[in-house]
């Protein structure tokens, strides 16, 4: 226990950093995921192409490479922001591609007659999607979206290699202080477990409340 109690503030800073990355990147990923899923089923060809390219490129790009591109590439074009913001952008954009595909699979489960009925009532594409299709699709995609956000929380560990304060990076400080590396990682793992279990509990509640009955 002394590894934790003697360095509680260090672990606390790392835990808070990981929690902030997870929350902010999750919000960005959900927003972009919803947007790209809408593009992928839009009647406008250019939007469908944009959504397809977004998903294809990000899903097939290693996350570490994306971190390099965002944290080291964007400043070369004059965009200078805190590294934590860059990390949120990298994590959020990367995860949005997986959120998009989960949502699109949910949209495909909604009977086409639902959309046709909405259009026959004079609804626009945006109204049909937001008021009829997405609410039904959301019920079936709660578990995969939850799993994707749990993966996001664990992927945030990469940010520590880019001078971003997060939980995994605390091992460097504690290793320099001579603490047992095994117990250092045990408490790091416990911190990630708290975050992932919290996400899992939240989506279990959502699934019980709104999930589709199977």
pLDDT of 121-169, one tens digit each?
Answer: 777 777 777 777 777 788 888 889 999 999 999 999 888 888 788 877 7
Predicted TM-score (pTM) of the model is 0.86
Instruction: Tell me if 99 sits within 8 A of 33, measured CB to CB.
Output: yes
Q: Which residues contact 57 (CB under 8 A, 6 or more apart)?
A: none
Rounded Cα gap, residues 83 and 208, in angstroms: 38
95 vs 74, residue with greater confidence: 95
The answer to whether residue 96 scores a pLDDT higher than 80 is yes
pLDDT of residue 125: 74
The answer to whether residue 213 scores a pLDDT higher than 60 is no
Rounded Cα gap, residues 66 and 37, in angstroms: 21
pLDDT of 54-81, one tens digit each?
Answer: 999 999 999 999 998 888 888 888 888 8
Instruction: Tell me if 132 sits within 8 A of 99, measured CB to CB.
Output: no
């Amino acid at each position: 226990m002394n590894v934790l109690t003697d360095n509680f503030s260090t672990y606390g800073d790392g835990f808070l950093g990981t929690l902030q990355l997870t929350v902010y990147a999750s919000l960005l990923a959900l927003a972009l995921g919803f947007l790209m899923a809408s593009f992928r089923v839009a009647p406008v060809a250019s939007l469908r192409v944009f959504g397809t390219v977004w998903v294809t490129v990000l899903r097939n790009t290693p996350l570490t490479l994306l971190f390099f591109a965002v944290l080291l590439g964007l400043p070369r074009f004059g965009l200078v922001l805190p590294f934590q913001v860059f990390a949120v952008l990298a994590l959020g954009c990367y995860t949005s591609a997986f959120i998009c595909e989960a949502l699109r699979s949910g949209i495909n489960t909604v009977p086409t007659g639902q959309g046709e009925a909405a259009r026959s009532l004079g609804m626009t594409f945006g109204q049909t999607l937001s008021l009829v299709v997405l609410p039904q699709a959301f019920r079936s995609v709660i578990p995969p979206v939850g799993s994707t956000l749990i993966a996001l929380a664990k992927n945030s560990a990469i940010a520590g290699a880019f001078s971003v304060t997060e939980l995994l990076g605390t091992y460097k400080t504690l290793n320099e202080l001579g603490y047992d590396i095994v117990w250092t990682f045990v408490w790091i793992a416990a911190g990630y477990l708290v975050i992932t279990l919290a996400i899992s509990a939240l989506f279990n509640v959502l699934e019980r409340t709104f999930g589709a009955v199977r």
